[in-house]
Structure 1
Amino acid sequence: MAVLMDAINPSIPKPKFGSESIVRQACILLILYLSLGVVIYWFNRHHFVGPKTNPVVDALYFCIVTMCTIGFGDITPNSNATKLFSILFVLVGFGFIDILLSGMVSYVLDLQENYLLKTVQHDGDKRDLATSYIIDVKKGRMRIRLKVGLALGVVVLCIGIGVGVMHFVEHLEWLDSFYLSVMSVTTVGYGDRAFKTMPGRLFAAIWLLVSTVAVARAFLYLAEARVDKRHRRMAKWVLGQDMTVSQFLAADIDNNGYVSKSEFVIYKLKELGKVSEKDIMQISQKFDRLDSGNCGRICLADLKDSHH
């Protein structure tokens, strides 16, 4: 009967947030947005001042430098229309880059995580709840470490590639190449050094798109790792302390003089900040709606009545 009821009244499926589809959509939107920027630059190219190479390459280079908030200053707008275009382009465009990179990082992390946990998942039916909890905690730590390592690796790789291209393509000294590479990926952009050749600007259009946001993501993940470490220390302290009389009274939700296992779990989750009083009230109201017999528990007959 339970199977039949589930077939007749299927549960609401869990929404899917696929990082692969996010990357695909972000790439398409980014290409369309850059194409629009190049077209607008093309028709207004005489209202931009600075050294010129190829109009299309210069347009793509200017759009990327603007969108990544670098601002070398080698190409600048000198009319009201082009200044307004630059303002709108940087405000909207930076969001596309962030969505693209975050989706790519999440997709790579999902692949690595599934590969590393494949053995554990094969044995999932043999482990108890305590083992599952420990594995989930380790899985969360590993995911954060992977994010930090991947982001820092991308930053180092981008800086190294930038140094090589600037030395051999832009013909800068090694120190100047390293200087320009770091100033570019960190979006400082003093303007004393910039890309002057057409191959260099074409490379910068792709390189800056990835490297600048990779640096921002690296610092974000480092901060996330520090917060996670603090949360784990807090959880260890909360779970390690004994229950006092005041905590007993707070954990006794139904005020019946004793604390059940479920009440103890709920109280500890509240202390850890995993759930709030509002969340508990909403869940309790949902339970009361399902408990049509008002007997303090849910049975199959209650589910049948709720579907009707």
Structure 2
Amino acid sequence: APSYGATPRDDGSPSTPAPERPPKEKRRRRARRADPADLHPAMRRLNQLSDFIVTYIPWLFLGYLLFSAWFLHVFLADEHTKKFHTWIDTMYFVFITILTIGYGDVYPTTDAGKSYVIVFILVGACLGSVILGYVAEWVLATQERVLEAIARRRARVMSADVEKIRERLSDASKRSVARAERGERDYPSRRRMDDAMDGEPTDAEELPDEKNAESSNVPVLKALFVVLFFTTVGALGMMAIEKLSFTTAFYWAVVTVTTVGYGDVTPKTDFGKLFTCVFATLAVGTVGWAISTIAELYIKASLVNDANEKLDQCRVTPEYLAEVGGKKGYVTRLDFFKATLVSLGKVTDADVEMVDARFDELDVNDDGQLSIEDLIGDMDQLAADLAKVLRAREEETGP
């Protein structure tokens, strides 16, 4: 047998054993826990830069917007069309662009302006995507908490059902189950169990009450109020500043807060452009939150309804036991396992029937078990089928 200790030299003296190399996983862990001082200076500076960007991303984003506005106004002011001639037009362009509204009424016309706007949009999109990533992470975390709460509730309900079944079972009913295993029936005991269930609260009454319809509609009403509030404020503001009609003003407000930005209705005055900058900054994010809240509530309601349906299918009740157990009058571990997988949607009845059919096909001697005799019999059948096919081919290609 190989020795992992000291090995003797030619002169008989033991040599120093070679140090044991750590497994790959241990080496990976040590690499991940490596001291920053041991890293290459370039990698250390890159890590520091990444930490700085992640920590101060909101302020970097704001500084980037201000720098872009300053750069466009000072260096890229188009003297012909005067797109960035005033600070108001420049800030208006920056906000409309970064908020992805994009009316199209202010845009670069020179090659230098177009080149910078390319960089401005790409870098701004990257910085903005980090902020959106935080929002997406929060939404996903919320959904995960909802799913975990539903799973815990399902486990509590099933445990409560099992406890109730145990409490309802009496000595007489246990004896009736034993007799059912022998193929006998005990209708009086079943009647006694049914009588014991009469007068008890139903499953819906035993479950903790969910929020009623009125309280569940409160977030939706808040979200709708936010959308209506900002569209109304924006419409009234443009009616007063730009002298737009009622319909046109509301049309502009909806197109703006949803970042559709057709560009057919835009502010013409400096005060209207300033109003749009402030209004869009406050409204776009808030209305986006309201719309996402409505979508989140719908998704949450769908998850809860789906979970409740699956929960109802997994309720451990005497009726459930009778349905799953069938004629034998009791439920085995395999019966419960299959029924639960089907009710949870992990498999279908067709999948279970296919597996059962495959088992029956392999169980040649019909003893309910797969043994070496079954496998040998299956191989014999396979050999016979193969021989039949070969004989048929020989007959077809005969002399």
* TM-score (normalizing by structure 1): 0.53
- Aligned-partner residue type, residue 300 of structure 2: D
Alignment partners' CA distance in 2, 1:247 and 1:150: 51
CA shift at 1:68, angstroms? 1.5
2:83 touches 2:89 (CA, 8 Å); kept in 1? yes
Alignment partners' CA distance in 1, 2:128 and 2:262: 20
Alignment partners' CA distance in 1, 2:81 and 2:219: 39
**Are residues 191 and 34 of structure 1, via their aligned partners in 2, closer, same or farther at CA, if it must alter by over 3 Å?**
same
2:334 matched to which residue of 1? Answer: 249
Alignment partners' CA distance in 1, 2:218 and 2:136: 14
- Aligned-partner residue type, residue 58 of structure 1: D
Q: 1:88 aligns with which of 97, 107, 122?
A: 122
1:67 touches 1:93 (CA, 8 Å); kept in 2? no
- Aligned-partner residue type, residue 129 of structure 2: G
Establish whether residue 74 from structure 1 lines up as the match of residue 108 from structure 2.
no
Alignment partners' CA distance in 2, 1:88 and 1:161: 32
1:205 matched to which residue of 2? Answer: 277
Establish whether residue 166 from structure 1 lines up as the match of residue 200 from structure 2.
no
1:167 touches 1:177 (CA, 8 Å); kept in 2? yes
2:227 matched to which residue of 1? Answer: 155
CA shift at 1:88, angstroms? 1.8
- Structure 1 segment 249-268 matched on structure 2, within 5 A: 249=334
CA shift at 1:83, angstroms? 3.5
Computing the radius of gyration over CA atoms, which structure comes out larger, 1 or 2? Answer: 2
Moved more, 230-239 or 58-67: 230-239
- Aligned-partner residue type, residue 293 of structure 2: Y
Aligned length: 210
Q: Deviations over 1:148-190 (max 9, x none)?
A: 4433322211111111110111222222212211221122222
Alignment partners' CA distance in 2, 1:250 and 1:40: 73
Structural RMSD (CA): 4.3
- Aligned-partner residue type, residue 98 of structure 2: M
1:65 matched to which residue of 2? Answer: 96
| Unmatched segments (≥5 aa) in structure 2 | 1-54, 140-158, 161-206, 314-319, 326-330, 347-399
CA shift at 1:76, angstroms? 0.5
Establish whether residue 176 from structure 1 lines up as the match of residue 248 from structure 2.
yes
- Aligned-partner residue type, residue 225 of structure 1: L
1:48 touches 1:82 (CA, 8 Å); kept in 2? no
CA shift at 1:250, angstroms? 8.2
Alignment partners' CA distance in 1, 2:280 and 2:80: 21
Establish whether residue 40 from structure 1 lines up as the match of residue 71 from structure 2.
yes
- Aligned-partner residue type, residue 236 of structure 2: G
- Aligned-partner residue type, residue 200 of structure 1: G
2:61 touches 2:128 (CA, 8 Å); kept in 1? no
Alignment partners' CA distance in 1, 2:332 and 2:273: 64
* TM-score (normalizing by structure 2): 0.42
| Unmatched segments (≥5 aa) in structure 1 | 1-23, 106-128, 253-266, 274-308
1:264 matched to which residue of 2? Answer: none
1:113 matched to which residue of 2? Answer: none
**Are residues 152 and 236 of structure 1, via their aligned partners in 2, closer, same or farther at CA, if it must alter by over 3 Å?**
same
1:77 is paired with a residue whose SS is coil
**Are residues 29 and 177 of structure 1, via their aligned partners in 2, closer, same or farther at CA, if it must alter by over 3 Å?**
same
